[in-house]
């Protein structure tokens, strides 16, 4: 197993986006997820969920976490340690649109 970036995306709308799905016959250990507000004028909040089906309240890791432009947190690093099985996924969402860059880091191994 090698530590690497498992996925990346830029959130520009307000819908849920699948950031990473564990491939078939694999498992993954998610170590960190990073959010950066790259929009010049829009304050934002972000959501993060670990899912294995339809979104439920207990799936949230972050809910409406502030991600401001000026004078506040314009970067969030979430340190995890989640072990995930094949077909489980990490989804992310921006509440205000704008531009939020997201990266997920960890390791994949054979199940």
CB 100 within 8 A of CB 94: yes
- pLDDT tens-digit readout, 37-52: 988 788 899 999 999 9
Number of domains composing the chain = 1
Range of the domain at 21: 4-110
Give me the CATH number covering residue 92. 2.60.120.260
Closest CA relative to residue 76, chosen from 50, 102, 107 = 102
User: What pTM does this model have?
Assistant: 0.92
- pLDDT tens-digit readout, 10-42: 999 999 999 999 999 999 999 999 999 988 788
- pLDDT tens-digit readout, 71-111: 666 899 999 999 999 999 999 999 998 889 999 999 999 99
């Amino acid at each position: 197993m090698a530590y690497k970036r498992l996925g990346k995306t830029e959130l520009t709308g307000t819908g849920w986006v699948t950031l990473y799905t564990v491939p078939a016959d694999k498992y993954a250990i998610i170590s960190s997820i990073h959010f950066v507000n790259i929009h010049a004028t829009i304050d934002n909040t972000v959501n993060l969920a670990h899912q294995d089906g339809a979104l439920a309240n207990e799936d949230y890791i972050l809910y409406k976490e502030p991600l401001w432009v000026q004078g506040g947190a314009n970067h969030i690093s979430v340190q995890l340690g989640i072990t995930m099985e094949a077909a489980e996924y990490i989804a992310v969402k921006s509440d205000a649109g704008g531009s939020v860059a997201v990266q997920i880091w960890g390791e994949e191994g054979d199940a």
